[in-house]
Amino acid sequence: MTETATTAVREFKMPDVGEGLTEAEILKWYVQPGDTVTDGQVVCEVETAKAAVELPIPYDGVVHELRFPEGTTVDVGQVIITVDTGGGAGAAAAAAPAAAPAAAPAVAPAEPGAAPAAEEEEPQGRQPVLVGYGVAASSTKRRPRKQQPGGGGAQPAAAAAVQAELNGRAGAAPTAPVAPAAPVSATAPVSATAPVSPAAPGAGRPLAKPPVRKLAKDLGVDLAGVTPTGPGGVITREDVHAAAAPAPQAAPAADTAAAQAAPVAPAAPAAATGERETRVPVKGVRKATAQAMVASAFTAPHVTEFVTVDVTRTMKLVQELKQDPDLAGVRVNPLLMVAKAFLVAIRRNPEVNAAWDEANQEIVHKHYVNLGIAAATPRGLIVPNIKDAHAKTLPELAAALGELVTTAREGRTSPAAMQGGTVTITNVGVFGVDTGTPILNPGESAILAFGAIKLQPWVHKGKVKPRHVTTLALSFDHRLVDGELGSKVLADTAAVLERPKRLMTWS
């Protein structure tokens, strides 16, 4: 957060909402320009590679500007919203129309050391051409840019306004004046501005939209050495690609302007796919999950074992516990009993609760259990965990499990809740699946898949009877857990579910 020297408009930057995360996607804005906000009020919801998080504003005022629309991925440290804390000026600026004609007279430069007036009007009717986003009227009024000494105000007003809007910050140093290759008609559109030379050192920060800056960073291109072809000296995606892999073609200025003015669908595939395919960008939680699963599958040697067990007695116990006054208000279900049985099995076989330290070539035995519960959400698979689950009573475990599942479904799981897990349970039975071969959560030693509970013919006391039966599958890291240890953990878990009284005799 910074405060400009000449106005009461304060900037709120994208914080590091995770643990070392570098970017976040803006999912939803809860405020609009002109709205009044108070200290601690939630203004937007963002999604990182770990979770969705709500961001509160740290001061009182009136929303002056939203720097990025919903669905934009923003780097940590970039300004995402500005708020007028001076009382009224920001609201008036936000509510005023921001359109101005392209061929408007130049804005008079401010005297050195003088502050630009927040209420100074821009020419009306302007249609700013945003690179890669088509022609759209601005939803907020922006403050005129402060001219640097020696600038002389040679830049047209429309170009300066576009420059300020694309740069995303008021008061940034302007680039060198545009030098057209040929005389330009007075009625020529702003988008037909001729290419300008790369900014000389010290001439100011190169102008580019955040997605273009990220593209340049990914391709290893220095924006200071890129020749801009966009309106007002703005660097486009095409400029960055040309700098990374120079192409011999030179498109006419008119064609370049038309390409810039045409709307571009975000994340469009290179080849037209028609209506038979839809491409969805991989980002946020789903991207992080994919990377973690690939790393786990090709790092830890997985072994999976299965057991089918009669859980009829456990199902009867679940029904009895639902009527127990001591468990009133908490959710009692078969998953709770599976979690408790798994914890008992780990207590009887503590060596399974470990981690592999590749750097030090050590096995780290853990004397606590942070029990992860895999949860499928609209944004992808997440695995929050119950801290110190081994020390919780059955009512405490039930309350923690219910809170975890509810929070995950609402998309409010915090990054801290997904850190430090030791073992995990994945309940594939809710989808009617018998069992599976789950992949370990990175850094954990074991994961238990809990299949669907179904009435099946089963031999009970020498007779074939319909019984509630389910299949459990335990995947474990064979560097940490050998076959004997893994088999004991799975067998003990099944034994508790088959005869729940072992919860008392084995505890």
pLDDT digits (tens, 9 = 90+) for 97-132: 333 333 344 444 444 444 444 444 444 444 443 333
d(CA 341, CA 236): 59
Between CA 456 and CA 461 the distance in angstroms is 15
Banded model confidence at residue 379, pLDDT cuts 50, 70, 90? confident
Please give the single-letter amino acid code of residue 402.
G
Report, as an integer, the average pLDDT of 343-365.
94
Top-ranked range on mean pLDDT: pick from 23-27, 78-82, 170-174, 206-210: 78-82
Q: Length of the chain in residues, anyone?
A: 507
Q: Which residues of 55-92 are buried (b: 16+ CB within 10 A; e: fewer)?
A: bebeeebbbbbbbbeeebbbebebbbbbbbbbeebbbe
Mean pLDDT, residues 362-388: 90
Highest mean pLDDT among 83-87, 164-168, 179-183, 449-453: 449-453
CB atoms within 10 A of CB 354: 21
Per-position DSSP letters for 292-345, written without gaps between them: HHHHHHTTS-EEEEEEEEE-HHHHHHHHHHHT-GGGTTS---HHHHHHHHHHHH
**Residue range 5-33, pLDDT digits in tens:** 445 888 898 887 655 567 888 888 999 99
Q: Is 468 a catalytic residue?
A: no
Is the pLDDT at 289 greater than 90, yes or no? Answer: no
Q: Return d(Cα 121, Cα 100) in angstroms, integer.
A: 10
- Of 241, 460, 468, 478, catalytic: 478
> How far is it between the farthest Cα atoms of the chain?
100
Across the range 188-212, mean pLDDT stands at 53
Q: Residue 88 region, left (φ>0) first, then alpha (ψ -120 to 50), else beta?
A: left
Q: Who wins on pLDDT, 186 or 82?
A: 82
Q: Which two tokens stand for residue 287?
A: 């991207």
Domains of the chain, start order: 1-96 (2.40.50.100), 130-147+154-172+191-260 (no CATH), 285-505 (3.30.559.10)
Instruction: Look at residue 193 and tell me whether its pLDDT is greater than 50.
Output: no
* pLDDT given for residue 452 in this prediction: 96
Query: Which strand (E) or helix (H) includes residue 52?
Result: strand 52-56
DSSP, res 397: H
Structure-block tokens of residue 269: 């595939």
- Mean pLDDT across the chain: 74
- Report the pLDDT value the prediction gives residue 220, as an integer from 0 to 100: 76
Higher pLDDT, 46 or 489: 489
Under the banding of pLDDT at 50, 70 and 90, the label for residue 440 is very high
Reported as a single tens digit per residue, the pLDDT across 449-486 is: 999 999 999 999 999 999 999 999 999 999 999 999 99
Q: What is the pLDDT of residue 50?
A: 62
Question: Between 76 and 466, whose confidence is greater?
Answer: 466
| pLDDT above 50 for 284 | yes
Are 63 and 81 in contact, with CB atoms under 8 Å apart?
Answer: yes
Of the listed ranges 61-75, 278-292, 313-327, the least confidently predicted one is 278-292
Mean of pLDDT values over 147-155: 45
Count Cβ atoms below 10 Å from residue 136 Cβ, excluding itself: 11
Structure tokens at 129: 């051409």
For range 242-255, the mean pLDDT: 52
Bigger pLDDT: 120 or 419? 419
DSSP run (H or E) holding 472: strand 463-477
388-406 pLDDT tens trace: 999 999 999 999 999 998 8
Q: Which residue has the higher pLDDT, 420 or 203?
A: 420
Q: Which of 121-135, 138-152, 155-169, 282-296 has the lowest mean pLDDT?
A: 121-135
Cα 403 from Cα 497, distance rounded (Å): 23
Residues 6+ apart with CB under 8 A from 131: 166, 209, 212, 230, 231, 234, 236, 237, 260
DSSP string of 68-107?
S-TT-EEETT-EEEEEE-SSSHHHHHHHS-----TTPPPP
What is the reported pLDDT for 334?
96
C-alpha distance from residue 265 to each of 132, 214, 257, 268, 369 (Å): 8, 18, 17, 6, 47
pTM over 0.85: no
Both structure tokens of 148: 């640097």
Give me the residue label for tokens 């090709």: 298
Residue 429: pLDDT band with limits 50, 70, 90:
very high
The C-alpha atoms of residue 216 and residue 310 are separated, in whole angstroms, by 59
Say yes or no to pLDDT of 427 above 90: yes
Q: Which residue has the tokens 């475990």?
A: 397
- What angle (nearest 5°) sits at the alpha carbon of residue 480, between those of residues 474 and 483? 50
Range among 15-19, 264-268, 361-365 rated most confident? 361-365
Kindly give, in sequence order, each residue whose CB lies less than 8 Å from that of residue 344, ignoring residues fewer than 6 positions away: 492, 493, 496, 502, 503, 506, 507
d(CA 178, CA 194): 8
